[in-house]
Amino acid sequence: MYLCHHTYKHIAMLPPLAERMRPQHLEEYIGQQHLVGEGAILRKMIESGSITSFILWGPPGVGKTTLARIIASKMNRGFYALSAVNSSVKDIREIIEKAKKTQFFDTPSPILFIDEIHRFSKSQQDSLLAAVENGTVMLIGATTENPSFEVITPLLSRCQVYVLKHLEEQDLRSLLNRVLEKDAVCKSKKIVVQETDALFRFAGGDARKLLNIIELLIGTENQTEIVLTNKLVTEKLQENLAIYDKGGEMHYDIISAFIKSIRGSDPDAAIYWLARMIDGGEDPKFIARRLLI
């Protein structure tokens, strides 16, 4: 398999690979066939044109935001997006008021997508209840945490919960092949994919991680031809990804990868992720709590 690209200068001017490769249509969406495959519940909902509020629960990088955007586009509905990290009750109310003003007899309710809905306080979640109940907006929430513990019961009772899974190896391979075939940057460098074990292991079932690793390899290798091997992937990640942000997204990504490694009986990977957290100054109590959960 081969991948080409423009010079690094040109790459830097483009959106990140993960954004360039974000699926726009359901046919491009990889993984979660139990939800979007032929005859699956969300596909039926999309094809029927009838949607109810729901929450997508799954680990990072498995397509929650992408799926919400595809559904909104496919069903020709307005789309509002909020992140629970930096949104307030005022932001929610403003969107609800906008939705009310656009309501007509034959106009479908817009979709309100809330990323990391588990981070909303009780009062923020309360502010959604009436609008979800009367259909002013169709809520799609995304969470990496069990909504049974993080979402208030009245809101949870108004929403279905659908579980998304880590991408399987065949899904990651399909995504890799799609990058090789579709990405517009494939112009000047040739990548020979010789081994993929390390690539898929470090991705940990996360599509975003896989794409970030590929982009890292392309951006840091200056040879005309890159031979993708387990050794190359391991060396580059150890050199460039030995960072840890206790307050950011990587904080949750790494603990997720750590737990997945333990569940998958992969001691080498588990030790690697544990070392990343300890070296980054993670609170041992946080690690212990996640292990108990």
User: Residue 42 in contact with residue 48, Cβ under 8 Å?
Assistant: no
Reported as a single tens digit per residue, the pLDDT across 54-88 is 999 998 899 999 999 999 888 888 899 998 888 88
User: Residue 213 in contact with residue 34, Cβ under 8 Å?
Assistant: no
Which token pair is 223? 């040879």
End-to-end Cα distance, the chain: 41
Reported as a single tens digit per residue, the pLDDT across 81-134 is 998 888 889 999 999 999 988 877 678 889 999 999 998 999 999 999 999 999
User: Residue 191 in contact with residue 218, Cβ under 8 Å?
Assistant: yes
Of all residues in the chain, what percent are helix, strand and coil, respectively (each to 5)? 50, 10, 35
Which token pair is 180? 């090789």
Q: Where are the domains of the chain?
A: 8-22+167-240, 32-163, 249-292
Third-level CATH fold of 32-163: Rossmann fold (3.40.50)
pLDDT band at 250 (very low <50, low <70, confident <90, very high): low
CB-count burial class (<10 Å; 0-12, 13-18, 19+) for 114? buried
Which H helix or E strand runs over 271?
A: helix 267-279
Q: State the Cα–Cα distance between residues 95 and 201, nearest whole angstrom.
A: 41
Q: Residue 249 pLDDT more than 60?
A: no
pLDDT band at 40 (very low <50, low <70, confident <90, very high): very high
- 3-class state of residue 225 by DSSP: strand
The structure's pTM equals 0.76
Q: State the Cα–Cα distance between residues 55 and 148, nearest whole angstrom.
A: 11
CATH code for the domain defined by 8-22+167-240: 1.10.8.60
CB-count burial class (<10 Å; 0-12, 13-18, 19+) for 39? exposed
Q: What is the pLDDT of residue 240?
A: 57
Q: State the Cα–Cα distance between residues 45 and 29, nearest whole angstrom.
A: 16
